[in-house]
Structure 1
Amino acid sequence: MADHSTTLADPTIAASTRTFKAPSSRVLSVDVLRGITIAFMILVNDAGDGHHVYTQLEHSAWNGWTLTDLVFPTFLFIVGISIILSTHSRLQRGANKRDLAIHTVRRAVTIFVVAMLINLVPLFQFSHLRIYGVLSRIALCYLIAGLICLKTQKAKTLLGITAALLVSYWLLMRFVPVPGFGVPTRDIPLLDPDRNLAAWLDRGIMGFFQRTLHTGRLYEVTRDPEGLLSTIPAVGTTLLGAVSALWLRRAGGKSPSITPGKCTLGLFLAGLAGIASGYIWNIWFPINKKLWTSSYVLFAAGCALVGLAACYWLIDIRKFNETRVGKWLTWPWLVFGSNAIVAYVMAAIVEKTIALIHLSGITADGRPLTAGRWIYWHIFASHGSTNNTSVAFAIVFVLVCFIPNWILWQKKILVKL
């Protein structure tokens, strides 16, 4: 498998594949958490019926949070973990920082190119290309955090940079006047959906792209949840993952400086501190996934830390995955986590394919009939659409996306971006 469980939290596709290895320093809990995260990401993105979705399986409308809102930041958090573990492993093998910097830039560009290809395929309607997006944000956060971590791997420095990013973003969103609307809390509500600095900036950027490149669109027409300005705190999410990896590394290797038990306790307590801090900051700067607010960064990172602590205790300490039951319970997440980008790309391909195949007729809710809607309404919702039928479709969709990863796992092939 990948070095130090870095497989796809640093989600990039390499030009070649490698066989799986299992070094003693591997942190299997990170693989498991990554696998759970990518599977849940596919699940919430591919409900059978968008009008019938359990509350926790869709994003919060604006302020507040659901379980779904924790998926993307957890993935970015794991990207940060992998940056540290991968960089440490490569430096130990003799790589120099200049080569690693070039490698980081190349990977970030590759992720971005893959993102654009996914958005363009199969119709290649360049005028409607969405430049922002999940993979685009991962590329930018990976690039910035990766270069920062090549410059320094001191926990205090990384925490200081993170604090500066979060405070700066709060100051921008709270005090900088939004052109044409006024000052937040005085002339307009704080974090008004369309009348906030991030949305205003994204509309301006896309307007520029439309005028000059004749392309670009925002996911929600007037704003985008993966916009440019909110990438500032998203980098903070990634750096918090990097700091967590530094703590994990202290419990590993040939000469650990802390015990695994202390490592677990530290992760758990840090997680509780993050959750509490996020809720406290929420009073003045609401938790909001679509704007990736600073309070949201702390809260989501806290949840990720608690999840990591649980996985670390179960797998790397108690060796739950080596028991008969534990092996079967953790195996699917290891398979998903080993080639997470393959699963994500496969989900996008399958989703687009079944949406583009048009059949004659309409669905029970009056929409044009596509292959995907035919499958849903004839197999899952033949007696009516409910939250249960919608989530059943999503679960089967996840299983379909699992198949390529399982084949790669069987063949011991690791695809790295």
Structure 2
Amino acid sequence: MKKRSRRGAARISAIWLIVFLVVALVGAAFGWIAQQDAAQARSSHQTAVSALNVSEARFEGERQISRDISQIFGYFNPSEAGSRTVVDAAENGLESLKVAFVDMNSTTATFEDAVPVVIAQYAARGKAISDLTSQVTDLRSQITAARDNLTSVSGDKDDKIRELQQQLSDAENQARDTEADLQGRLAAAQADRNDKDSQLRSARGDIDDLERQSERDKTAATTRMAHMADSLKFTKEPEAADGEILAISKALGIGWINVGARNRVNRGMIFHVISGKPGSDFLKGWCRVISVEETRSEVTFFSIVDQFRPIVPGDIIYNPVFDPTGVRNAVLVGRFSGVYSERELKLLLESIGITVQKRLDQETDYLIVGAEMYVDIHNDPVEEPIQPSELPVYKEAQAQGTQILSIRDVRQYFKK
């Protein structure tokens, strides 16, 4: 039994020895392979480093060339190290050069093409400057000659002054003689004055007659003013409303009023809305006509005064320049432009029953004044704008009491 145990132990030791030798051989093999790979990697690294150094040297050379070109060509930021020419800026510079030098055309694509043209035009301009310098020299010579001539003329002027002073002395002597003669005539004139006094007394009688006539004319003018006051009631707040609110859509902010095309209502006309409660004159807001039918109009509301007192059906509307029945005449003076050109203003006035006249007369109710004018009555340009208030028709309207309205008064209640 003991011998068997020794042989088994010997077998196990031999096996482990074999295993150890195999492992050692495998490790040695792997070590040799790893050493070969490391050597090859070091060789590849050295080759890559050498190639990198060559590329960096070539890149630095190209970069230095780019810097040198940028230093000469420009269009770069000098505050940044290594800054190079901005291509877009250089192209813009070339286009500006083409604009400045008219001889360049679309075939001039580079600065190399542009430089000969610039040099040629610069030389031409230098020659032109030289010619102008010669002309300036000639003109200076002419000025010197003119100054010499002026000195000569000044001497002649002094001689002339002395001659005139002598003539003045002679004239004074003659004036004294004339004075004596005039005194004699004055005595005769005093006698004639007495005759004129009697004529004056007669003229005063005529003046009294004229004053009486003036009083009669004044009475007639007062009557006309009263008539005009009646025809101009539209410029004041009417005693009765122009209409009332029929219905309202709170969601859309619109409503309907009970006046329409039959009442000369136009799209864009503006009314202010007053509370419909008896005895109340509270201004609730404004409404603008956006659609017109025969007997009613659609409006939109704006500038609501108090959100807690909204516009409701039954509230009343006013427009001081709205008159659904009256017949009136107007004359336009000044310049009308923008939204209300003269043609548009005439159409608006005709739509509300106002006839536009060509000339002011006794039947004219309004003079509507526009902006200053830059041409005269013959359509010739003027140096200073002409104010409508400086025109004769304006002063005539004032003299006969015609109502004068500014275009702003019309715009306030009529929007487009």
TM-score (norm 1): 0.17
TM-score (norm 2): 0.17
- Higher fraction of strand: 2
- Higher fraction of helix: 1
Higher relative contact order (CA 8 A, sep 6+): 1
